[in-house]
């Protein structure tokens, strides 16, 4: 079964960390990623650019509307994700619990992936 681990963080809080603190967390993150690659759980991962670089798309009354930035003002923003293959939710949660950014305020949402039917 595949699970997506959505990593949310307060971009301003991350910015308040010193460069050595951020680098230490990212070094640990690299080691964590290599560990899940070696274990065979890893399927995909990426870090997202800050929300200031995003564009939101909506449709209202049949017209496309684009706006700069995220859809909603929230304290935490989606910063990246990991797609993993696991036996069950317990295994996915055990892997997610080792994500280094949890120690600096990151929130990780673990959600099962439902395959889309192919046309």
Residue 11 belongs to domain with CATH number: 3.30.70.1060
Q: What is the mean pLDDT of residues 18-39?
A: 96
Q: Within its chain, how far is the Cα of 106 from the centroid?
A: 9
For residue 71, is it within any domain?
no
Closest among 5, 8, 9, 79 to 41, alpha carbons compared: 5
Model pTM? 0.86
Whole-angstrom distance, CA of residue 86 vs CA of residue 63: 41
Name the domain count of the chain: 1
Question: Tens digit of pLDDT for each residue in 105-114?
Answer: 899 999 999 9
Residue 63 falls within a domain, yes or no?
no
In a domain, 20, yes or no: yes
Q: Is residue 9 part of a domain?
A: yes
Distance CA 115, CA 96 (A): 21
Domain that holds residue 81: 2-46+76-112
Q: Is residue 88 part of a domain?
A: yes
């Amino acid at each position: 079964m595949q699970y997506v681990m959505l990593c949310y963080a307060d971009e301003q809080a991350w910015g308040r960390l010193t460069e050595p603190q951020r680098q230490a967390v990212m070094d640990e993150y690299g080691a964590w990623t290599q560990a899940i690659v070696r274990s065979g759980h890893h399927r995909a991962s990426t870090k997202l650019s800050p929300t200031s670089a995003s564009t939101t798309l909506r449709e209202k009354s049949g017209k496309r509307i684009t706006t700069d930035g995220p859809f909603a003002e929230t304290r935490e923003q989606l910063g990246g994700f990991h797609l993993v293959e696991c036996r069950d939710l317990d295994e996915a949660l055990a892997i997610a619990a080792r994500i280094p950014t949890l120690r600096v305020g990151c929130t990780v949402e673990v959600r099962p992936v439902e395959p889309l039917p192919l046309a």
